[in-house]
Chains A and B, each alone.
Chain A
Amino acid sequence: MKEFNEDQMDDYLLGRMKKNEVQVFNDKISKDKAFAQRVQERQVSLKYVEQLGDLDLRDRVKKVHETAMKNLAPEQSFSIIPLLKYAAVIALIVIGGIWFLQKELSSIEVYHKYYEAYALNFGARGSAGEELLEAGGRYYGNQEYENALAQFNAIPLAKSSAKINFAKGISFLETNQFTQANAIFQQLIDQKDPIYEDHARWYLAMSYCKEGKMKEAKILFQIIATKPNSFKQKEAIEILKKI
Chain B
Amino acid sequence: MQPFSNKKTIALLKSSVLLDNDEAMNSLYAVMYRKVLHFILKNSGSEQDADDVFQDSLMVLYKLAKRDQLDDVTNIQSYFFSICRNLWYKALKKKQKTTTLTEAHHSLPEAAMQISAMLALEKSDFLDQLLKSLGESCRKVLIYYYYDRLKMKEIMKRMNFSSEQVAKNKKSGCMKKLKELIAANPGFKDLLN
Contact = CB atoms under 8 A, between A and B. Distances in A.
Say which size band chain A's interface belongs to.
35 or more
A109 interface: yes
Interface stretch (A19-27, A42-50, A130-138): A42-50
A53 B67 contact: no
Interface stretch (A62-70, A156-164, A166-174): A62-70
B115 interface: no
Main SS of the interface on chain A?
Answer: helix
B51 A65 contact: yes
B59 A112 contact: no
A41 B179 contact: yes
The 5 closest A-B CB pairs, nearest first, are A53-B147, A68-B29, A212-B72, A106-B72, A49-B146
A183 interface: no
Interface of B: 1, 22, 25-26, 29-30, 33-34, 51, 54-55, 58-59, 62-63, 67-74, 79, 82, 127, 130-131, 134, 139, 142-143, 146-149, 172, 175, 178-179, 182, 189, 192-193
A6 B130 contact: no
Contacts of B25: 61, 64
Contacts of A108: 69-70, 72-73, 79
A52 B175 contact: no
B30 A48 contact: no
Main SS of the interface on chain B?
Answer: helix
Contacts of A68: 26, 29-30, 33
Given A57-B59, A65-B55, A49 B71 contact: no
B68 to A, nearest CB: 8
Contacts of B179: 41-42, 45
B158 to A, nearest CB: 14
Contacts of A41: 179, 182
Contacts of A144: 193
Contact of A61 (B58, B71, B139, B175): B58
